Amino acid sequence: MAQNFRVVVHQNSENLHLRLEGDFDGSSAYELLNALEKRCRYASRAFIHTNGPRQVAPFGLSIFHANLNDLKGGRKCWPLHFTGDHAGELAPEESQSSILP
């Protein structure tokens, strides 16, 4: 994992907010996937805030996109909502995820 990466989680009754900080690599992708797996069942909507990553590695993106569909089944927080500078990169093209300003 990029040593400077972390997922800052904030959740209220309806919404899950995951703020990404630091460089996004393959291990970071798994950390984000694990946070979604653990927390999505308790929220109606999930927002992934992407202003924090300084760098998004192509390998991290491929890991994230390849494993994201495995989480979708049975989660009520889908579609995911991506915001921030790297929203267009992190949001999978074929999904129903939205990119918000």
Query: Does any domain span residue 1?
Result: no
How many structural domains are present in the chain? 1
80 in a domain, yes or no? Answer: yes
Q: What is the pTM of this model?
A: 0.87
Could you list the residue range(s) of the whole structural domain that residue 38 is in?
6-100
d(CA 32, CA 18): 8
SS3 101: coil
Read off the CATH number of the domain in which 30 is found: 3.30.750.24
Domain assignment present for 47: yes
- The model's pLDDT over 27-61, given as tens digits with 9 standing for 90+, comes to 999 999 999 988 888 888 999 999 999 899 999 99
Which pLDDT score is estimated for 99?
Answer: 66
Say yes or no to pLDDT of 96 above 60: no
